[in-house]
Structure formats: C-alpha cells, structure tokens
Structure 1
Amino acid sequence: MARLYVTILVSVLMATTNCLADGWTTIRNGSVWLDTNGDTVQAHAPGFLHYGGRWYMIGEDRSDSWHPDVNMYSSDDLVHWRFETKIIRNGVTVPELGTRRFIERAKLMHNPRTGKFVVWCHWEGPRYAASEAACFSADSICGPYRLEWSGRPLGVKSRDCNVFVDNDGEAYFVSTTEENTNIGLFRLADDYLSAESHVCLMPGLRREAPVIVRHDNLYYMLSSACTGWAPNQCMLSVSKRLDRGWSQLEKIGDDKAFRTQAAAVIEIKGTKKTTYLYIGDRWMDPDLPSSKIIIFPIEFKDGKCIFEYRDEFRINFATGEVE
C-alpha cells in the first residue's frame, strides 16, 4: 500500500508540475519520453495530426532497430502520451515488412473529402537500394491500416520524406529524390492515395528531412544535409509559391541544429496568437532505440525563421502564448 501511495503521489506531482492550474504546460527537453504506462515512447521521425481535440503522433518503433513497426500515441498536452496501437506491424500489415522491407518517416493526414486517415512513408529495402514510398489508409484514426500502394512515385527514386497539406486542402508528398540529390514535390490525388504530378524543387543541393510550413502567404522549408545519423546545419528556404521560386538556402540555429534533425513543425492556434513548435530527432543519443525527441517554439516572420533551442518552456494551448 505504501508503494502504491508513493506511485500515485509522484504521478499527481508530475501532472501538477507539467499542467499548471492556470492553463500553462511546461515542456522539458533532454530526456527520453515515457508514455502513461511508464514505457519508452518509440515514435522516431514522428508525424503529427490534431484530431478530435487531441494530438496523434506516429513514428518508428526502433526497439528492433532495423525492423521498425509504426506506433501511434495520443496526447492533449504534448507531454503525457498514451500508447494507442501499432498501426503498421512487421509481417502482419504487409508480409514483406521486417524481412525485405522496412519503413521510415511515417506521416499522418486526415482527408476531409473521404474521411479516411492516410499515412505516407519511406518504403525501403536492403542497402537503401529500393528508394521507394508507400501509402496506407484506414477508416478510423487508430486503424486498422492497409497498404494502398508502394513503389517509386511517378517512377522517381524517393527516400527521406514528409507530407504537407495546404490551406485549400491539397496534399503533397515531399521527399529527397534521385539518390539524395534533389527535393521532389509530389501533388497527391484528391483521395491522397496516389501521386499525380512531380516537380523538382532543389536540384543538386542534396537535402533531406524536409518540413514545409505556410505562414502569412509564404512557404518555409526546413531541411538538413545528408550525413546519415550525424547532425548538421539546419537550413531554410522560402517561396511565394509551393512549386517554384524557392530562395537560396540560409543557415538557421547553430551549426549542428542543436543536435537535431527536423521531423515536423506543428501549429498551435490560440485565442491570442499562433505558435509554431519545432519537433526534431536527436539521433543516436545514446543509441538508435533511445534517440531523443526534441521540441521547442520557433517563429516565422517576413521570410525569416527565429530558430532558438530551449531546454524548457511553458505553453498555453488555449491562448497560444509561450514563455
């Protein structure tokens, strides 16, 4: 009974510390995230979707480093994560997963036209020779998910990837293409299940881990160089149009991007302001299964990005304010 009382007391104190009565939540960086069961959160290279008042996060379960399942978690404060399910499982969802194929950088969208939930990801094989993508869909957010398509989108070699949904509901798959040489933008069909067109955005610049944000009618793209698991300088490009006109790369943050690689930027629309939160992977810290997830506020204004790491910050999800 004493041990149970201590456990309950610690849980209450943690909740009080992170979610204050005045509506502010404290987010701290540098530690491995634990879910509400006390298990390590396995959602590397995460993708996010805000749906039904909760944040849903999917990512690579690297507890089996080279055969990751895709896990789903949910949270209402980005601190307390509840494990929901494995939405894609090796050898179960698709037989060749875990043997001839593995998944990286799974990203989640909801299609308002069809009501379906759609995942796009990097669909890879031994020695990264396949250079393909895959698409899964489900009728409910927690699945079950089924494979809709896999291969090289429109015949283009594709690796590190992300998704972007514009203000008009048009969805895009964005990835590093042709042996990590270019950044490719693929416009998706109305149902989000296939690619309909492709344009090369950054020929020959060898960028990966692309993240696109739209703010004040400008498009901002964060990306990193291709250095494997080693961190490198995060760089910014800006454009008035999604399919062309991207500016020259500009350095942001420190020369190692605070030892992270971009996974997502999520938008918090509050009653007083809109805040953007950068989410990155701190790979191999201390090893692949225990790689950290890092989160901190950033700002976009007049074609610039204020990109400053914080060990700790407070956010009010109702107002959108950050301290």
Structure 2
Amino acid sequence: MGETAGSRAVSLNSHPAARTFSGTRCSVSLVLWSLVGCILMVHFYSLIPQKDKGEIRIGSSHLSVTRELEEVEEENLYLPPPRGKRSPRAVKRRGPRKPYSVVDEFLDESSELHALFFPDRKSAIDPNKRGKDSMYYYPGRLWLDTEGNPIQAHGGGILFDWRTETYYWYGENKDGPTYQAHRRAAARIDIIGVSCYSSKDLWEWTNEGIVLSGEGTNATHDLHVSNVLERPKVIYNDKSGQYVMWMHIDDANYTKASAGVAVSDSPTGPFTYLYSMRPHDFESRDMTIFKDDDGKAYLIYSSEDNSELHIGPLTDDYLNVTRVMRRILVGRHREAPALFKYEGTYYMITSGCTGWAPNRALAHAAESIMGPWETMGNPCVGGNKIFRSTTFFAQSTFVVPLPGLPGSFIFMADRWKPAELRDSRYVWLPLTVGGVADEPLEYNFGFPLWSRVSIYWHRRWRFPEEWQRTT
C-alpha cells in the first residue's frame, strides 16, 4: 500500500516476465540492426567489384602502355644554410627571423636553388633538335617553338579542332618587361595579347601569332595595355560555327573583376573582342570554360574575393551566361580551376590563393557539373613532400584528355617567375584517373566511391609509343 515509484520500478524489472520481454526486445533490435548492417555491407561489396572490374578492364587495356607515366619519382632538395646572422639587438627589436623556406628560395633569383626551378636556355626543349630528347617533356625547362623562340602561352588552355585535326594552345603573351604599378601592387606586364600555337602531336608547336591584341591608344578599352588579361580559353560553337574565347579582364588593381568575350571564324584568329561583364553580377577573377559532351558550355570562376567558385551554363551561342548559377567550394579560397570529365564524372583541379607563390593543389569531383562538388585531397604524387605541397612549384591552368588512352590526361600548369614573368615556365605532367580515392571525402558520410586523380611527377617523360603512333 505504501509502495513508492522507485520500488514499483524495481519490482517490475525483477519480474520474470518483464525480464523475458526486455530480453526479447533487445534480441529483436539486435536482429534488426544486424540485418540492416548485412544489407549495407552487401550493397557496399556489390559496388566494389563493379568498380574494380572497371579498373581492371581499363588497367589491362592500357596499364602496360602507361606504366612509365605512373612510376613514382622522388626528388631530394638541398636547402642552403640561413643567410647571415642578425644582431641580438635586432632580434630583440624585431623578434626572431622567420625560417627561410624552400618557397622563399624558389622566389629568390639569387638563391642557389633558383636555377633548379628555372634552368637556362642550354637545356631548352627544342623541337628542331632531334635525337634522344625528341618528344620528351621536361617540366620547368624553357620550351621553344618551331622558330626557336620561347613559347608565350601562359595561363592558357588547349582546343582540339577536329576539322583540321590540330591542337591549338592559347595563352597570355608575357614577352614584355615586368614591373609593379605601385609599391604594393602585384608584378605585372602590359597587355600584349593572346598567343596561339598549333600542333599535331602536343610537343612541337608552331607560332600562329597574336590572335587577340592589346589596345595601345584607347585608355577606356578593356584591353588597354595598362589593364589585365589572364587565363584565355577557347571553345568551338557547333551551332554558330564560331570560336569563342573567354578570359579574365581586370584593371591594374584587380578591382574590375570581370570576364571578357571574343569571337573568331578561325581557330587562328583574329578574334574580335565583344565586351566584358560581371557574370551573374558577381566578381569574376581566375576562370575557365568547359564544353560538355552534349554541347552545353559552362563558365567557372573565382568570386567573392576568391573565397568561393561560381559555376553556370552559357547561352547557346556561348556569348553570355544564363541566369542559373551555383556556388561551390564556399569559404575554401580556391582559384585556377581546371575541369575535365571521365566516365560520366566531372573532376576539377584547383589551387589556393597565394599570389605568385606556389601552393597545394586539390582535386574535386561531382556527379553533376552543377554540384555538389566534393574535395578528394591533394592529387600530386612523387617528388617529395615539398613538391607535393606546392603542386611541383606550379599552378593549374588546364587538363587535356589523351584520345585512345582512357583515364589518361595531361595536367597543364604554370611555374610563375614574378621577378620576370616572361620567363615563367610550363609544367606538363601525366594525370590519370583510376583506383579508389585514398582520402575521405568532406561531405560524404559513406565510403568514397570516386576514382582517385593522380598527377605524377617526372623530371623527364613522354607519351607511350602506342599513343604517338596514333597521332
């Protein structure tokens, strides 16, 4: 009669029937959860064999062909001792000196390491000199065209024109003096224009001249020499029959932050400049364009003070953006986007925002080009820790697919030389897609199912002979 709530609970739990019911409930829960776990495991393992079979199929078809490209090469760097000594009074007044890093050595023309990153003309890649070095790429070496002049196509991209079965490489011509508009401004050269080079084999390049020129007299023109023209990319519009160029247009202080458009009836120009705009009414700086398999084209650009990327489809004539836009990699501060597609999946390489100084690349993937995009980690393989953390001392600009070699691409990057921008170098390296990603994805709570993107460091490499015979 005087039973409390606590005693009732004790007596209830101590009842045999209650214990049986409780045990049964636990057993049912255990069985249910075990069943769910089994279903998930069966689903997971049903996915893995399919993916593995695909990789084995791809691997068996071209593994022997691309094995050289996928070999891991290591690098040893000797860092010179710290320069000079500071007096105790200076240390007390200014604090201890920041350790001199390899990136500092890279940017310092007086450094012992500088020549390693920017070898002189004696070692230049020269298509006119046949022999043991023929068809070999040497990342970072001076690269000459068929006339024996350094190629000037920085921040560029490549168009394959099936009508002429020719590759066209467009990029910034920086063959002018480097200077600063004011003391705190970034290094720059006056706008010269966009260069175009043509090739049948992606190694021997013929200079087709400047296809879009800077403006020397009209100070209000977007292409006036005092402004900025960067990262030109060209695609062909099958409906209009025009070659359409998009580029980053800015003023010397990088406050205009716009995208410019030009057109031509020929891949070798001349291109007619149309106008610039802020796409979707947002700032646009580092950018690229991508033409999908269905003919639709997209603009991808850094925005909001480079804190995020924006992506949206172009109009059918490729001359403007539509109203549709998605923000991606928000708050990640990524730039220099380079997109490509493989087996229905979209991939992208980006760099961090550190001015002319190199930084770590990241690879991203998406089922739809409009997102969501997931980050897969650093794609760089080989070299050493410093090489991988600096994208081999370069910055992404474009990714070129290799016809006939599924999952194989060329990663194009610029090794900037801010003290003399005309002497900036090209770092072209083999990129492959294949294998399960070895880093967990950021937004996926499950197992990563994207194939890994790998950019392999090589001091010297060339395409497999099987591919060369098809070009």
Taking structure 2 as the reference length, the TM-score comes to 0.61
1:211 aligns to 2:359 (yes or no)? no
Q: Which runs of 5+ in 2 are unaligned?
A: 1-125, 179-188, 381-387, 435-449
1:180 aligns to 2:303 (yes or no)? no
1:305 aligns to 2:453 (yes or no)? yes
Task: Quote the offset at 1:98 in angstroms.
Answer: 3.1
| Aligned structure 1 segments of 4 or more residues deviating by more than 4 angstroms | 92-95
My pick for the range that moved more, 188-197 or 95-104, is 95-104
Alpha-carbon distance between aligned partners in 2 of 1:228 and 1:126, rounded to the nearest angstrom: 14
Residue 289 of structure 1 aligns to a residue whose secondary structure is: helix
Alpha-carbon distance between aligned partners in 1 of 2:173 and 2:465, rounded to the nearest angstrom: 28
The RMSD of aligned alpha carbons is 2.2
Residue 253 of structure 2 aligns to a residue whose secondary structure is: helix
Question: Kindly tell me: are residues 37 and 219 of structure 1, through their superposed partners in 2, closer, same or farther at Cα, counting changes over 3 Å?
Answer: same
1:57 aligns to 2:156 (yes or no)? no
Residue 430 of structure 2 aligns to a residue whose secondary structure is: strand
Task: Quote the offset at 1:274 in angstroms.
Answer: 5.2
Amino acid paired to 2:329:
M
User: What pairs with 1:78-93 in structure 2 (closer than 5 Å)?
Assistant: 78-91=202-215
Residue 202 of structure 2 aligns to a residue whose secondary structure is: coil
1:44 aligns to 2:159 (yes or no)? no
Amino acid paired to 2:467:
T
Alpha-carbon distance between aligned partners in 2 of 1:139 and 1:13, rounded to the nearest angstrom: 31
Task: Quote the offset at 1:92 in angstroms.
Answer: 6.5
Alpha-carbon distance between aligned partners in 2 of 1:56 and 1:317, rounded to the nearest angstrom: 22
Task: Quote the offset at 1:27 in angstroms.
Answer: 2.2
Corresponding position of 1:7: none
Amino acid paired to 1:189:
T
Note the alpha carbon deviations across 1:139-159, whole angstroms, 9 max, x for none.
Answer: 111112112231201211100
The structure with more helix, counted as a fraction of residues: 2
User: What pairs with 1:21-170 in structure 2 (closer than 5 Å)?
Assistant: 25-51=135-161, 52-64=164-176, 65=178, 66-68=189-191, 69-91=193-215, 96=221, 97-170=223-296
Amino acid paired to 2:299:
F
Residue 126 of structure 1 aligns to a residue whose secondary structure is: coil
Task: Quote the offset at 1:296 in angstroms.
Answer: 1.1
Q: State the aligned residue count.
A: 305
The structure with more strand, counted as a fraction of residues: 1
The answer as to whether partners of 2:190 and 2:226 remain within 8 angstroms in 1 is: no
1:281 aligns to 2:281 (yes or no)? no
Alpha-carbon distance between aligned partners in 2 of 1:138 and 1:32, rounded to the nearest angstrom: 30
| Larger CA Rg, structure 1 vs 2 | 2
Equivalent in 239, 242, 255 of residue 366 of structure 2: 239
Equivalent in 414, 419, 424 of residue 291 of structure 1: 424
Q: Percent identity?
A: 28
The answer as to whether partners of 1:46 and 1:107 remain within 8 angstroms in 2 is: yes
Alpha-carbon distance between aligned partners in 1 of 2:197 and 2:408, rounded to the nearest angstrom: 22
The answer as to whether partners of 1:94 and 1:147 remain within 8 angstroms in 2 is: no
Corresponding position of 2:463: 315
Alpha-carbon distance between aligned partners in 1 of 2:352 and 2:396, rounded to the nearest angstrom: 11
Equivalent in 400, 403, 417 of residue 269 of structure 1: 403
The answer as to whether partners of 2:196 and 2:268 remain within 8 angstroms in 1 is: yes
The answer as to whether partners of 2:249 and 2:276 remain within 8 angstroms in 1 is: yes
Task: Quote the offset at 1:286 in angstroms.
Answer: 6.7
Task: Quote the offset at 1:74 in angstroms.
Answer: 0.9
The answer as to whether partners of 2:351 and 2:395 remain within 8 angstroms in 1 is: yes
Amino acid paired to 1:221:
M
Task: Quote the offset at 1:249 in angstroms.
Answer: 4.9
Question: Kindly tell me: are residues 320 and 213 of structure 1, through their superposed partners in 2, closer, same or farther at Cα, counting changes over 3 Å?
Answer: farther
Alpha-carbon distance between aligned partners in 1 of 2:468 and 2:280, rounded to the nearest angstrom: 40
Corresponding position of 2:76: none
